[in-house]
Amino acid sequence: MHRRPGLSARLKLTLSYAGFLAVAGALLLAVVWMFLLRYVPDNSQGLLGISPNRYLLVRTFAPAAAMAMAFLLVFGLVGGWLLAGRMLAPLTQITDAARMAGNGSLSHRIRMKGRQDEFRELSDAFDSMLEQLESHVAEQQRFAANASHELRTPLAISQTLLDVARKDPTRDRGELIERLHAVNTRAIDLTEALLLLSRSDRGNFTRESVDLSLVAEEAAETLLPLAEQRRITLDVTGGATRTSGSAELLLRMVTNLVQNAIVHNLPAGGTVTVHTEAHGDTSVLRVENTGRPLQPELVPTLTEPFQRGTERVRTDEHVGVGLGLAIVHSVVRAHDGTLDLVPRPAGGLLVTVRLPGTP
């Protein structure tokens, strides 16, 4: 933004200090005049014909007062300039850090030393903001790189299949079409997941009252054939649990959680339990599944995009795009909630979603 040039904050503070000191000196001289010189007679004769009078005192006092005022003004300007520079030095460090961040250097930190005051508090807040920005930018860069890689894979496979079909006209066209259909479906699923993730990250959706228990029942009903196919027992328990948000995004969140719990429930014959309940002003959704034991250090990475844990491998018929729990995490964050993933000691995972409740 273009602004007209003006006085610096240091010069303004300097003029303020000097002006205040000059006004204080003028008031002091006025007090001396009012309460001292007013009692001195205009003309008086004393010993040897010489006595202090107002005229003489004014002639001797006025030059000294003028010199004192000039000294106060110079002293105020010099001292104010030095004091203002010392006081504004932390602000200069923050400004330099802001310029560096504006040029793309987010790794710089101010780390201002000294006791806590307004400038140190601002510096700490700025460092915290830079840390969050750097983490967010790094996450977005990783996401963009992974998304490009994931999108390039089905396109490369399609190109290879088409090249093979062109070079070998005798190849079975039915098999080629089936493989192209599978690859194209995966690319479409990935693109839709990316769009959904982007939408939930922006948070630009209309909020309405949503009953999580009904959403859980709908998701379970949709995924019941998959659970039966894998001989998984799917149970939905709990009462009405209302929150405010997007019904579509919350349905996708619960569907992803239940689908992950079914698909990763190995070996077959396990259970998946979906439970909803309200605790005061908080609405709670729990999805718990049996399965293989998970390494504790692996769990925090499951919500990152395109992260497929080595202990959570899908079969070929449900390859997935690696965005299931990333979408869940994004939807929960967009609804001002929290997401907790805890590995069960006997194997499997317990996922707890806490969202702000509504009456």
- Give the pLDDT band of residue 149 (cuts 50, 70, 90): low
Tens of pLDDT along 226-248?
Answer: 899 889 999 999 989 999 988 88
Instruction: Quickly state the pLDDT bin for 205 (edges 50, 70, 90).
Output: confident
pLDDT at position 128 over 80:
yes
The domains of the chain, with CATH numbers, are 9-105 (no CATH), 135-202 (1.10.287), 208-356 (3.30.565.10)
pLDDT tens-digit readout, 211-230: 999 999 999 999 998 899 88
pLDDT at residue 109, rounded to an integer: 86
What pLDDT does residue 55 have? Answer: 67
The model's confidence at residue 314, banded by pLDDT at 50, 70 and 90, is very low
Q: Between 204 and 312, whose confidence is greater?
A: 204
Predicted local distance difference test score (pLDDT) of residue 278:
92
pLDDT of residue 358: 84
Distances (CA, A) of 245 to 199, 274, 333, 347, 358: 13, 20, 11, 32, 10
Higher pLDDT, 337 or 154: 337
Distance CA 221, CA 237 (A): 13
Q: What mean pLDDT is predicted for residues 50-60?
A: 64
CA distance 9 to 14: 8
How much is the pLDDT for 2?
61
Q: What is the DSSP string of 39-105?
A: GS-SS---GGG----HHHHHHHHHHHHHHHHHHHHHHHHHHHHHHHHHHHHHHHHHHHHHHHHHTT-
Q: Tell whether the model's pLDDT for residue 306 goes beyond 70.
A: no
Residues of the chain with pLDDT > 90, as a percent, come to: 19
pLDDT average, residue stretch 337-344: 93
* Opening angle at CA 208, ends 205 and 213, nearest 5: 115
**For residue 326, what pLDDT band results from cuts at 50, 70 and 90?**
confident
Residue 317 has pLDDT above 50, yes or no: no
- The pLDDT score that the predictor gives to residue 275 is 96
Mean of the per-residue pLDDT values of the chain: 80
- Residue 320 confidence (pLDDT): 53
pLDDT confidence of residue 277: 94
Mean pLDDT of 1-18: 74
Taking residues 172-185, report their average pLDDT: 81
List, in sequence order, every residue forming a beta bridge with 271; answer none if it has no partner: 233
Highest mean pLDDT among 91-95, 189-193, 279-283: 279-283
Residue 54 banded pLDDT, cuts 50, 70, 90: low
| Mean pLDDT (whole number) for 325-329 | 85
Task: Taking residues 65-92, report their average pLDDT.
Answer: 81
**Can you tell me which residue has the tokens 């967009």?**
334
* Pick from 180, 255, 157: nearest CA to 212: 255
Q: Which residue has the higher pLDDT, 259 or 150?
A: 259
User: Which of the listed ranges 85-99, 184-198, 246-260 does the model predict with the highest average pLDDT?
Assistant: 246-260
Bigger pLDDT: 202 or 267?
A: 267
On whether the pTM is more than 0.75, the answer is: no
Task: Give me the residues paired with residue 275 across strands.
Answer: 237, 286
For residue 316, what pLDDT is reported? 41
Tens-place pLDDT, residues 94-112 = 888 888 888 888 888 888 8
